[in-house]
Amino acid sequence: MSQPESAIADAQAGGPSDGTPAKGQEPLAELAARHGLRRAIARPSLPAYLRQLWERRHFVMTYATSRNVSKYSNSALGQLWQVLTPLLNAAIYYLMFGLILGTSKGIENYPAFLITGMFVFTYTQRAVTGGAKSISGNLSLIRALHFPRAALPLAYTIQEFQQLMISMGVLVVLVLVTGEPITWLWLLVPVALLLQTMFNIGASLVLARVGATARDLNQLLPFIMRTWLYASGVFFSIGDKVGSAENIPGWVADVMYFNPAAAYIELMRDLLMTSHAPRPYIWSVCVFWALFTLIGGFWYFWRAEEKYGRG
């Protein structure tokens, strides 16, 4: 504000005498810089971005809860579906793979094995699928309000996390019913879920950015997810089917166990089932994927922050 009055008068769009801008008017960019105005679209630094996201934590939580509530609000049974859906899923998987197809050969306590795998995989699958739609499906929200865009994929993952809490309740009951004892290892279940949640957030951030520009991703994703499901050892034991097979080299099983979904499934089975033999290095693999995906995913998503909402 220390500029001479004449400069400000020049900068005014309309001169008082003839109504046309004065000649030799300074460029608008310089006028803006002189008054300390900043570009409306500028990506904040990563620490500032994380701080903004933290300030919006209430929005993220409320948005996630609201989506969960509105999902079943039109049905007669209402929120009861949050429990019924995983229960019915478990029943169908057991009927299909346990009784009809008889995949259970050689696996002790196959119902627990199958249902644990299915629930853990479903969590990742739904979080990633939701994340892929979180930007492209919310363009009107992005174009109307200002908030760190990472709040959306984050909210979608938290929505799935809330659903998972209910599924885990169902899972624990089912595992106990199938005869597994409660052990000290159960105390580590929250840690395993935390690691998986970190991975899911990172993965959904990556897919959110990809899905924001590649519209065909949502069409393709179900097929990718199904392939991932079959490769993750949900219905069968990777160690038995691949690791012990004579015509398949031994490293194939190791590679398959490095698959994050397989790793989190194996970890949860180790914790919940005494009959399940723990894999070596399983914790390292799970921690690696959690940190790598979360940090990498955040960085990757933040890099395009100012571009979301354009296409």
Partner 1 sequence: MAESTEELSRVKAEEPGTPRADVRVHPDPEPPQVTRTPTVVVDDLHIIYRVYGAATEAEKGNAANALMRLLKRQGRPQMKEVHAVRGVSFVAYHGDAIGIVGRNGSGKSTLLRAIAGLLPPHSGAVYTDGQPSLLGVNAALMRELTGERNIVLGCYAMGLNPKQVKEKYDDIVDFSGIGEFVQFPMSTYSSGMGARLRFAIASAKAHDVLLIDEALATGDRDFKRKSQERIKKMREEAGTVFLVAHNLDVIEETCNRVIWLHKGKIKMDGDPKTVLAAYNKG
The residue assigned the tokens 């309309």 is: 14
H/E stretch holding 290 reads helix 282-302
Which of 7, 13, 214, 277 binds partner 1 (CB under 8 A)? It is 13
Angle (CA) 281-282-287 rounded to 5° is 100
Residue type, 9: A
Q: Determine the straight-line distance between the first and last CA of the chain, rounded to whole angstroms.
A: 39
**Residue 102 touches partner 1, criterion: CB under 8 A:** no
Pair 156, 130: CB distance under 8 Å? yes
Nearest to 175 by CA among 94, 243, 289: 94
67 sits near partner 1 (criterion: CB under 8 A): yes
Among 137, 239, 296, 309, binds partner 1 (CB under 8 A): 309
Candidates 46, 78, 122, 147; binder of partner 1 (CB under 8 A) is 147
Binding to partner 1 (CB under 8 A) within 215-234 occurs at 215
**Distance in Å, CB of 58 to partner 1, minimum:** 5
Tokens encoding 284: 């390292």
Per-residue binding string, partner 1, 106-145, x by CB under 8 A, is: --------------------------------x-xxxxxx
Cα separation of 17 and 75, whole Å?
69
Q: Is 75 in the site for partner 1 (CB under 8 A)?
A: no
Residues 22-51 that bind partner 1 (CB under 8 A): 23-24, 27-29, 31-33, 35-41
* Of the candidate residues 56, 178, 218, 239, the single one contacting partner 1 (CB under 8 A): 56
Q: Where are the alpha helices (DSSP H) in 214-243?
A: 217-231, 238
* CA–CA distance, 60 with 119 (Å, rounded to integer): 24
- Separation of alpha carbons 271 and 250, rounded Å: 25
| 78 scored as a contact of partner 1 (CB under 8 A) | no
Binding-site ranges for partner 1 (CB under 8 A): 1, 5, 8-9, 11-16, 19-21, 23-24, 27-29, 31-33, 35-41, 55-56, 58-59, 62-63, 66-67, 69-70, 73-74, 138, 140-147, 215, 306-307, 309-311
